[in-house]
Structure formats: C-alpha cells, structure tokens
C-alpha cells in the first residue's frame, strides 16, 4: 500500500469562491492571484479552475509564459514586475502586464524591443513600505511612464498592510489620494481582506488571493463563515497505534506526557509534507470523522493524534489534516501562523489529485 497522504484539490470550490469575489466586487475586473504555485494548489490547476477571471496575478515570469503557452489570452500581471532587463523582451513578446515599483524598473523599460506595447501597473507606497513610489516620487514616475511610447496603459496600484485588522485601510487610502492628486487612471488596490471588508477599495481591478482557495484572510473568521469553500483538503491515515500508560511520553523530546492511559494514533504526515513542525499538542485533527488533537512534537514524516476517545479508530483510519471538515485557519491558528503559510508550504512529495 502506498503512503496514504494525499492533497485533494477541488476546482468547483475555487470557481465558487471566484463567485464570492464577483458578488462582493461586482464592477471590478478580477486578477486572480495564483502566485506561489497557486497558493500550493498547482499553477495550472488553479488557473484552470479560475479561468472565468479576467486575468491572473503572479510573480514568476516562467509561470506567466507557461500560461501563455497553454493558450491563456486574458490579462497576466507580474506582481513584482521585472527582476532584470533581459526579461523585458520576453514580457513584451507574451503581452504580459507588469508592475513598476522603483526607478530601476523604469530604467529597464529601455530594454524593450522597438514597437513594444506594455500595460504597466505603477505601485505607490502608501504605508506598507516594501515596494512602490513614495508620495513625493509618484508624480514624477507617472509622468515618465506616460511619456514612454512603449507604455500602452497605466494603472495605479497599491497594497494594504492592515486590511485584515483594526487599523484598516483609511490611512492608506488617504495617502494614495494625496500621492496621485488629480490623476484619473484605472486603479487596483484590493487584496482578499479589502475585497471582503472595504468596498471603497474595489476600483477597476481587484486582486484576490487566499479567499479564492477558501481560506479567510481574517484571524477572527473562517472561510466557511465568509461563504467560501476550502479548495484543498489534506488527508492521510493512521499507520500504527500505541498505548501509553500514565507518565509515558511520545515523540522527540517527549513533549507530551500522558496523564491517563492514552491511545495514540501515528499519522503519516510530517513537516516534510508541509505540516507545521511548530504545531503544539492540542492542534486540531480529524481521525475517522471525529475531531481530536495532535500529541507531542511533529516529526519529519509522522505526527501523533489522540485516539483515546475514538475507540473505533485504528490502523487504516482516515485522517484529515486540514480542508473540508477542518478549516486550515484553525490548524494554522493553533500553530501560531496563518492558513496562507500552510497552503503554500504543501511539499512536492505530497501527491495532488482532483476532487
Ligand atoms: C499576494 C498578493 C495579493 C493577494 O493577497 P491575498 O491576501 O492572498 O488576497 C494581492 N496583491 C498583491 C500585490 C500580492 O502580492
């Protein structure tokens, strides 16, 4: 028998989640963000499931070219733009739109072949302070870009640092308006959290990522509570059972000590599969359809689950690590991280199948 671990990816769930984006932002075009291998779901799998979007946003030029070679004719936006000049002719040849976030990238446009026509998203730094032109530099950058014959269109873009928390977006929206002044150009501002919480950010192009995969961008709500369906379910199985006496420990470091006679199920999933090693005892896991908890330290290929109150469970019983029936957000919260990280960390050794 093969090792039982498996990630099941549900294209219908992604299409449903795209529908939730449309319902929230009915007037905006959707650039479905499929960076990081489609948030762990597979680039082409995610692209196929989300083909009703007007375009895709991602980072890697190679992936963008793969989409074009696969026949995708809609918009593709490189979210961090070009990393060096030799990429520019490739970008132009495949009609890929790109972010320009710094002076060096304006300079790279000189590497475009004659006659090139490029769609540019100018990134304005409104307080995230990673990428983008500051308020003082934005007007100059805009003027320079609009003066270049190779630039066919300019869209204004920014990215929110606190759309998922109490600080919100108003302070960055103000900074955005101050930076661009009276310039009237298309806008792309909103990530998943802003799409769900701040309609005033929707503009012309929204950029949903994590919500398309059914995961909530908010700490205080699961995807299901937002009407989303999980696109990835990570399952495995129990491969052995141990009985602990009171005082026995389990796993590396003996981090869990039994306080009573305890049945332990050893599940074929570890950190080399992408499960977080820092998930402590008590992280939720479903075994044979019953919610229980992990015990002790996650190891490379295995983790342990408490079967004491699931007498019917044993070797061969199915395990759900996250997904349908167990929100990835809950597992992530128990491990002190976010669903984004768990989804994108799915390891290449885990087989992925369509639902
Ligand atoms: C990743 C990314 C997004 C999507 O963010 P989510 O929180 O996953 O919706 C949007 N815009 C940019 C620029 C990004 O890098």
> Which pLDDT tens digit goes with each residue over 225-277?
999 999 999 999 999 999 999 999 999 999 999 999 999 999 999 999 999 99
Give the C-alpha separation, 281 to 335, whole Å. Answer: 9
Within this chain, do residues 52 and 101 fall inside the same structural domain, yes or no?
A: yes
Ligand 1 binding pocket (C-beta < 6 A) is 33, 35, 79, 159, 191-192, 207-210, 217
* Whole-number pLDDT of residue 190: 98
CA-wise closest residue to 250 among 193, 302, 197, 179:
302
For residue range 317-355, list pLDDT tens digits in order.
Answer: 999 999 999 999 999 999 999 999 999 999 999 999 999
* Whole-number pLDDT of residue 46: 98
* Whole-number pLDDT of residue 327: 97
The best mutation among 209, 213, 218, 332 to test binding of ligand 1, ranked by most ligand atoms within 8 Å of the C-beta, falls on 209
For residue range 16-59, list pLDDT tens digits in order.
Answer: 999 999 999 999 999 999 999 999 999 999 999 999 999 999 99
Q: Which of 217, 243, 273 is the last residue of a domain?
A: 217
> 353 and 9 in contact (C-beta within 8 Å)?
yes
In a domain, 6, yes or no: no
Strand partners, 303: 267
- Where does the pLDDT of residue 218 fall: very low under 50, low under 70, confident under 90, or very high at 90 and above? very high
CA 87 to ligand 1 centroid distance, Å: 22
> 158 and 132 in contact (C-beta within 8 Å)?
yes
In a domain, 5, yes or no: no
Known active-site residue 123? no
* Whole-number pLDDT of residue 101: 98
Catalytic residue among 39, 198, 213, 252: 252
In a domain, 4, yes or no: no
CA 326 to ligand 1 centroid distance, Å: 24
Average pLDDT over all residues of the chain = 97
CATH of the domain at 271: 2.40.37.10
Q: Which of 185, 217, 249 is the last residue of a domain?
A: 217
In a domain, 224, yes or no: no
Within this chain, do residues 299 and 212 fall inside the same structural domain, yes or no?
A: no
CA 33 to ligand 1 centroid distance, Å: 7
The best mutation among 33, 37, 39 to test binding of ligand 1, ranked by most ligand atoms within 8 Å of the C-beta, falls on 33
**Atom 4, ligand 1: residue with shortest CA distance:** 209
CA atoms within 13 A on the CB side of 32: 30
Counting atoms of ligand 1 from 1, which one is nearest the CA of 208? 9
CATH of the domain at 65: 3.20.20.10
Known active-site residue 35? yes
The best mutation among 59, 155, 207, 342 to test binding of ligand 1, ranked by most ligand atoms within 8 Å of the C-beta, falls on 207
| Max intra-chain CA distance, the chain | 77
Tokens of 219: 């700490």
Average pLDDT rounded to a whole number, residues 116-133: 97
Q: Which of 172, 194, 217 is the last residue of a domain?
A: 217
Within this chain, do residues 307 and 205 fall inside the same structural domain, yes or no?
A: no
CA 343 to ligand 1 centroid distance, Å: 14
For 272, counting Cβ atoms within 10 Å of its Cβ (0-12 exposed, 13-18 middle, 19+ buried), the class is middle
Within this chain, do residues 180 and 240 fall inside the same structural domain, yes or no?
A: no
> 313 and 307 in contact (C-beta within 8 Å)?
yes
Within this chain, do residues 210 and 236 fall inside the same structural domain, yes or no?
A: no
What's the domain count of the chain?
2
Within this chain, do residues 257 and 324 fall inside the same structural domain, yes or no?
A: yes
Give the C-alpha separation, 124 to 132, whole Å. Answer: 5
Tokens of 82: 């070009």
* Whole-number pLDDT of residue 216: 97
Within this chain, do residues 158 and 280 fall inside the same structural domain, yes or no?
A: no
Within this chain, do residues 20 and 59 fall inside the same structural domain, yes or no?
A: yes
251 lies in which domain range? 232-354
- Where does the pLDDT of residue 210 fall: very low under 50, low under 70, confident under 90, or very high at 90 and above? very high
* pLDDT of 1 over the 80 cut: no
For residue range 142-188, list pLDDT tens digits in order.
Answer: 999 999 999 999 999 999 999 999 999 999 999 999 999 999 999 99
Within this chain, do residues 78 and 212 fall inside the same structural domain, yes or no?
A: yes
For 85, counting Cβ atoms within 10 Å of its Cβ (0-12 exposed, 13-18 middle, 19+ buried), the class is middle
CA 60 to ligand 1 centroid distance, Å: 14
Within this chain, do residues 313 and 265 fall inside the same structural domain, yes or no?
A: yes
Tokens of 306: 């408490």
In a domain, 2, yes or no: no
- Please identify which residue in the block is written with the tokens 């759309």: 163
> 208 and 21 in contact (C-beta within 8 Å)?
yes
In a domain, 225, yes or no: no
Within this chain, do residues 240 and 203 fall inside the same structural domain, yes or no?
A: no
* Whole-number pLDDT of residue 114: 92
**Atom 6, ligand 1: residue with shortest CA distance:** 209
Within this chain, do residues 137 and 263 fall inside the same structural domain, yes or no?
A: no
Catalytic residue among 35, 39, 271, 340: 35
3-state DSSP of the chain = CCCCCEEEECHHHHHHHHHHHHHHCCCCEEEEECHHHHHCCCHHHHHHHCCCCCEEEECCHHHHHHHHHCCCCCEEEECCCCCCCCHHHHHHHCCCEEEECCHHHHHHHHHCCCCCCEEEEEEECCCCCCCCECHHHHHHHHHHHHCCCCEEEEEEECCCCCCCCCCCCHHHHHHHHHHHCCCCCCEECCCHHHHHHCHHHCCCEECCCHHHHCCCCCCCCCCHHHCCCCCEEEEEEEEEEEEECCCCEECHHHCEECCCCEEEEEECCCHHHCCCCCCCCCCEEEECCEEEEEECCCCCCCEEEECCCCCCCCCCCEEEEEECCECHHHHHHHCCCCHHHHHHCCCCCCCEEEC
In a domain, 318, yes or no: yes
In a domain, 193, yes or no: yes
């Amino acid at each position: 028998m093969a090792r039982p671990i498996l990630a099941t990816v549900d294209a219908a769930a992604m299409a449903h989640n795209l529908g939730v984006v449309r319902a929230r932002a009915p007037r905006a075009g959707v650039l479905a963000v499929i960076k990081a291998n489609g948030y762990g779901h597979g680039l082409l799998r995610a692209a196929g499931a989300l083909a009703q979007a007007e375009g895709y946003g991602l980072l890697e030029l190679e992936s963008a070219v793969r989409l074009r070679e696969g026949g995708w004719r809609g918009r593709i936006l490189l979210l961090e733009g070009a990393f060096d000049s030799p990429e520019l002719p490739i970008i132009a040849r495949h009609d890929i739109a790109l972010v320009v976030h710094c002076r060096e990238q304006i300079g790279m446009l000189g590497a475009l072949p004659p006659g090139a026509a490029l769609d540019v998203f100018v990134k304005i730094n409104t307080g995230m302070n990673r990428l983008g032109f500051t308020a003082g530099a934005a007007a100059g950058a805009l003027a320079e870009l609009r003066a270049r014959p190779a630039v066919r269109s300019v869209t204004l873009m920014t990215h929110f640092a606190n759309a998922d928390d109490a600080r919100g977006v108003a302070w960055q929206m103000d900074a955005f308006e101050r930076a661009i002044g009276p310039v009237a150009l298309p806008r792309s501002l909103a990530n998943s959290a802003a799409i769900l919480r701040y309609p005033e950010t929707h503009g012309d192009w929204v950029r949903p990522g994590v919500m398309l995969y059914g995961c909530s961008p908010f700490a205080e709500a699961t995807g299901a509570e937002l009407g989303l369906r999980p696109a990835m379910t990570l399952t495995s199985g129990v491969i052995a059972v141990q009985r602990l006496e009171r005082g026995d420990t389990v796993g590396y470091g003996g981090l869990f000590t039994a306080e009573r006679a305890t049945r332990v199920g050893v599940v074929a999933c570890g950190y080399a599969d992408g499960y977080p090693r820092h998930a402590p005892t008590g992280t939720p896991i479903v075994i044979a359809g019953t919610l229980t908890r992990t015990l002790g330290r996650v190891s490379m290929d295995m983790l342990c689950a408490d079967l004491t109150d699931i007498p019917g469970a044993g070797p061969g019983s199915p395990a759900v690590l996250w997904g349908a029936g167990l929100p990835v957000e809950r597992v992530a919260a128990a491990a002190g991280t976010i669903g984004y990280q768990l989804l994108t960390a799915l390891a290449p050794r885990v087989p992925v199948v369509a639902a």
